[in-house]
Amino acid sequence: MLKGVLDLAVLAVLDDRDGYGYDVVRRLREAGLTEVGDASVYGTLRRLFKAGALTSYVVASDEGPHRKYYGLNDAGRRQLASSAATWTSFAATMDSLLKEGPHD
């Protein structure tokens, strides 16, 4: 996965709704990133949190362990918007490159 793309994917998932670590992994896989590594997602969450893009809070759970939820704060939403713009333009460039190219 390209550098920074997992960040964007995680931010996008959390923008949808807050989630705890394994929940984020599951939602990314359900979205089609089936091979995304658990440790990669967990490490990315911790890094984004350290960078100040996420808030976190603990929710008590009756049946399992306590869950630390992550959600976007303003900085996270700004990062998502700018990364999404970069990605969209990058994807558009790649699309047109592939359409113009001699191979399909």
Q: Does 5 bind another protein (CB under 8 A)?
A: yes
Q: Does 71 bind another protein (CB under 8 A)?
A: no
Q: Which is nearer to another protein, 50 or 100 (CB)?
A: 50
Residue 49 · residue 56 · CB < 8 Å: yes
Interface with another protein in residues 43-62 (CB under 8 A): 43-44, 46-47, 50
- Write the burial class of residue 35 (CB in 10 Å: 0-12 exposed, 13-18 middle, 19+ buried): exposed
Q: Which is nearer to another protein, 63 or 100 (CB)?
A: 63
The least distance separating another protein from the CB of residue 100, rounded to whole angstroms, comes to 25
The least distance separating another protein from the CB of residue 59, rounded to whole angstroms, comes to 11
Task: List all residues 6 or more positions away from 31 whose beta carbon is below 8 Å from its beta carbon.
Answer: 9, 13
Name which position in 35, 62, 100, 104 contacts another protein (CB under 8 A). 35
Task: List all residues 6 or more positions away from 70 whose beta carbon is below 8 Å from its beta carbon.
Answer: 14, 18, 19, 20, 21, 24, 45, 48, 49, 54, 55, 56
For residue 59, the cross-strand partners are 67
- Give contact residues for another protein (rule: CB under 8 A): 1, 3-7, 20-22, 33-44, 46-47, 50, 64-68
